[in-house]
Structures are given as C-alpha cells and as structure tokens.
C-alpha cells in the first residue's frame, strides 16, 4: 500500500469537492481511474485510500 501523505489527501479532497458534479457516482474505483488518467492522482494510490477520502467528504 502506498503512502498517502496528508498534503496529498488534502489536495485530492479539494479537487473532488471542486469537481463534485463530475464525480457524481460513489464508485471509488471509477473515480480513481478517472483521476489517474487526468494526472491528478498518482497511480499507486489505492481504491481503499480513495474510499476513505470520499467517506470523509460525505460526512462533512
């Protein structure tokens, strides 16, 4: 499992908040694939790590 730094987690959270309409479905694997293909997210970030970020955003 790769190391997801707090800074990277914060940046991904901000990106997902600003582009929430683009990622309307709660499919962590699909969102991860889209972020990696856009170059926003490194490919070694796991689906589980992204799920944690999405859960934190949903609880806000």
How does DSSP assign 38-54, residue by residue? HTSS-TTS-HHHHHHHH
Q: What percent of the chain has pLDDT over 90?
A: 62
pLDDT at 4: 81
Residue 45 pLDDT > 50: yes
How does DSSP assign the chain, residue by residue? -----HHHHHHHHHHHHHTTTTT-S--HHHHHHHHHHHTSS-TTS-HHHHHHHHHHHHT-
Q: Where are the domains of the chain?
A: 6-58
Residue 1 pLDDT > 60: no
pLDDT at 2: 58
pTM above 0.85, yes or no: no
Q: What percent of the chain has pLDDT over 70?
A: 97
């Amino acid at each position: 499992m790769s190391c997801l730094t707090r800074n990277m987690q914060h940046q991904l959270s901000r990106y997902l908040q600003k582009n929430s309409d683009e990622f309307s479905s709660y499919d962590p694997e699909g969102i991860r694939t889209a972020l990696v293909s856009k170059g926003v997210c490194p490919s070694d970030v796991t689906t589980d790590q992204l799920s944690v970020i999405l859960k934190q955003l949903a609880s806000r």
